[in-house]
């Protein structure tokens, strides 16, 4: 490890001692606001350099010694990176679980005091940090947090998502597929899993910008209703419906799933929705879906699940800057709630690798439109999306998280409890990929 004097030399003994217990060298060099550097190997050899633009970068970290402190510094622009964000975050993943000793923490505190990094009160969080209020998962609070994330800018999302405007993982035949090809295939996979028929009523819970209901109405002849809490999504979805000439078969509403009054629906799709529900509401959510479906109809539940046992903190970068009140469940918990509602689970498909590929496309789209994205949504939002999508892609690749599509049959309360009639599904699971 090297150090070039100045502030870097003050931290060098601490880092050198910690590095001896790390599983490998530092993931990147660090340049301080006085121009001094410390890093792995010899000076000038590091491929990536983390740049601390001012002392507030470390003050954020000292005041919140967790990912939220570093996240605040990143969003505020106090921390930058010269190099490849994927490479640095991937290398840094091996430090998960690493902690400084008590002696090292005391030494870090002493250095922070000498450098004047401890401020009372601490610096305010960046303006874009979410501050939801009210009872958790009340109708009003859920509307507030959904609008925080989705009402950023329709044009910003168009730059990131591309022309399909689908904000969930695509379905790839090959890594060489274009994002548009893979997203269109995903819409078709959902429609075919639901076995949509002309004239059926389809409900899309969390419909986004209307992509699924447009695809289903145009290609499968259904009568489709989409609900979302984002007013900007609804405005754009209605424009797209009018442009497609599907106004008689498609409707979108600003409406919570708990407020939908006009069931039953033959088929129900819920894509990227149960992550927003929360553990306390998961049973109610599944019961609501069951009550809105036609007995014997089908429901598809698509969402991100966690694959580790760590309890989630409300003070992560994701919960403060991306998905306030969001919560990832184990797929077993989702399936258990589904079955308690009376729905019969018939199929589960993991799309983990598909989401990693999708996110890499989105990160590339954002990078290619960076100046326009900043002009449209602000520099803080661009930095938030760049970090969160990169981190999410790596999390899917490592297997920290996954995404599951669960297909279920809506219960028929008129049937004898122990009698299950023949399923409306085909005997063989259909292939959703092109034939050779």
Domain membership flag for residue 257: yes
* Domain end (from 114, 149, 184): 114
Domain membership flag for residue 434: no
Residue 165, Cα to own-chain centre: how many angstroms?
15
Same domain, 202 and 333: yes
Q: How far apart are CA 133 and CA 131, in angstroms?
A: 6
pLDDT in tens, 11-34: 999 888 887 777 778 889 999 999
Q: Which residue has the higher pLDDT, 397 or 16?
A: 397
Query: What is the reported pLDDT for 422?
Result: 60
Provide the H-helix boundaries in 24-101. Answer: 56-63, 67-76, 85-92
Q: What is the mean pLDDT of residues 162-185?
A: 97
| Three-point CA angle 149, 153, 157, nearest 5° | 80
Position 181 pLDDT exceeds 50 = yes
Same domain, 59 and 154: no
pLDDT in tens, 283-298: 999 999 999 999 999 9
Same domain, 105 and 172: no
Please state, rounded to an integer, the average pLDDT across all residues of the chain.
92
Three-class secondary structure of residue 133 per DSSP = coil
Q: What is the mean pLDDT of residues 364-378?
A: 97
Q: What is the 8-class DSSP label of residue 329?
A: B
- Give the best-scoring range by mean pLDDT among 105-114, 202-211, 273-282: 202-211
Query: What is the reported pLDDT for 433?
Result: 64
pLDDT in tens, 108-126: 889 989 999 988 899 999 9
Residue 7, Cα to own-chain centre: how many angstroms?
37
Query: What is the reported pLDDT for 436?
Result: 41
Q: Report which of 100, 93, 96, 110 is spatially closest to residue 28, judged by C-alpha positions.
A: 93
Q: What is the mean pLDDT of residues 128-154?
A: 94
Q: Which residue has the higher pLDDT, 23 or 103?
A: 103
Domain membership flag for residue 119: no
Q: How far apart are CA 101 and CA 83, in angstroms?
A: 30
Length of the chain: 436
Number of domains in the chain: 2
* Domain CATH code at residue 9: 3.30.1050
Same domain, 216 and 354: yes
pTM score above 0.75: yes
Same domain, 49 and 157: no
Half-sphere CA count of 67, side-chain side, radius 13 A: 19
Q: What is the mean pLDDT of residues 325-354?
A: 96
Domain membership flag for residue 121: no
Domain membership flag for residue 420: no
User: What is the four-CA torsion angle of 161, 164, 168, 174, rounded to 10 degrees?
Assistant: -90
Same domain, 97 and 226: no
Q: Which two tokens stand for residue 49?
A: 């350099």
CB atoms within 10 A of CB 295: 14
* Domain end (from 81, 114, 147): 114
Same domain, 77 and 151: no
Q: Are 301 and 54 in contact (CB under 8 A)?
A: no
Same domain, 188 and 72: no
Q: Report which of 338, 301, 416, 372 is spatially closest to residue 157, judged by C-alpha positions.
A: 372
Three-class secondary structure of residue 409 per DSSP = strand
Same domain, 63 and 191: no
Same domain, 145 and 108: no
Query: What is the reported pLDDT for 426?
Result: 74
Domain membership flag for residue 133: no
| Burial category of 56 from C-beta neighbours within 10 Å (exposed 0-12, middle 13-18, buried 19 and up) | buried
* Domain CATH code at residue 230: 3.40.50.150
Same domain, 108 and 152: no
Position 434 pLDDT exceeds 70 = no
Domain that includes residue 59, residue range: 2-114
| Sheet strand arrangement including 2-3 | 2-3, 37-39, 29-31, 49-52, 79-82
Same domain, 222 and 371: yes
Query: What is the reported pLDDT for 421?
Result: 60
Q: Are 190 and 302 in contact (CB under 8 A)?
A: yes
Query: What is the reported pLDDT for 370?
Result: 97
Domain membership flag for residue 167: yes
Q: What is the mean pLDDT of residues 197-209?
A: 97
Q: Are 164 and 184 in contact (CB under 8 A)?
A: yes
Q: Which two tokens stand for residue 364?
A: 């590339």
Domain membership flag for residue 328: yes
Cα dist from 369 to 253, 362, 363, 377, whole Å: 30, 11, 10, 12
Query: What is the reported pLDDT for 275?
Result: 92
Of 3-7, 65-69, 243-247, give the lowest mean pLDDT range.
Answer: 65-69
| Percentage, residues of the chain above pLDDT 70 | 95
Position 6 pLDDT exceeds 50 = yes
CB atoms within 10 A of CB 14: 17
């Amino acid at each position: 490890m090297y150090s070039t004097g100045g502030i870097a030399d003050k931290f060098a003994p601490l880092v050198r001692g910690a590095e001896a217990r790390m599983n490998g060298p530092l993931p990147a060099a660090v340049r301080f606001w006085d121009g001094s550097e410390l890093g792995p190997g010899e000076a000038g050899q590091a491929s990536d350099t983390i740049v601390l633009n001012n002392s507030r970068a470390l003050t954020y970290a000292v005041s919140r010694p967790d990912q939220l402190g570093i996240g605040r510094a990143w969003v505020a622009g106090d921390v930058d990176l010269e190099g490849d964000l994927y490479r640095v975050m991937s290398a840094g993943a091996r430090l998960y679980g690493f902690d400084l000793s008590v002696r090292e923490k005391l030494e870090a505190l002493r250095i922070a005091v000498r450098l004047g990094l401890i401020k009372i009160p601490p610096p305010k969080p960046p303006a874009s940090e979410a501050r939801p209020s009210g009872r958790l998962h009340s109708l009003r609070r859920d509307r507030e947090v959904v609008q925080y994330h989705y009402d950023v800018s329709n044009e910003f999302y168009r730059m990131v998502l591309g022309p399909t405007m689908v904000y969930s993982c695509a379905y790839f035949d090959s890594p060489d597929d274009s994002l548009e090809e893979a997203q269109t295939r995903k819409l078709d996979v959902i429609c075919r899993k639901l076995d949509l028929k002309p004239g059926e009523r389809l409900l899309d819970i969390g419909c986004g910008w209307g992509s699924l209901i447009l695809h289903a109405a145009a290609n499968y002849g259904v009568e489709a209703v989409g609900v979302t809490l984002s007013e900007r999504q609804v405005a754009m979805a209605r424009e797209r419906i009018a442009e497609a000439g599907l106004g008689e078969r498609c409707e979108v509403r600003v409406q919570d799933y708990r407020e939908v009054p006009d069931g039953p629906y033959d088929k129900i799709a819920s894509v990227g929705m149960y992550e927003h529900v929360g553990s306390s509401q998961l049973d109610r959510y599944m019961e609501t879906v069951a009550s809105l479906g036609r007995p014997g109809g089908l429901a598809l539940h698509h969402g991100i699940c966690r694959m580790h046992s760590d309890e989630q903190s409300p003070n992560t970068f994701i919960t403060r800057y991306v998905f306030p009140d969001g919560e990832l469940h184990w797929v077993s918990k989702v399936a258990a709630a589904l079955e308690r509602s009376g729905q019969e689970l018939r199929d589960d498909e993991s799309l983990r690798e598909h989401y990693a590929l999708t996110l890499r496309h989105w990160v590339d789209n954002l990078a290619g439109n960076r100046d326009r994205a900043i002009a449209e949504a602000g520099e803080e939002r661009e930095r938030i999306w760049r970090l969160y999508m990169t981190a999410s892609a790596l999390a899917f690749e490592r297997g920290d998280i996954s995404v599951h599509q669960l297909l279920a049959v809506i219960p028929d309360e008129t049937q004898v409890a122990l009698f299950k009639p023949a399923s409306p599904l085909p005997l063989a699971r259909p292939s959703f990929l092109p034939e050779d």
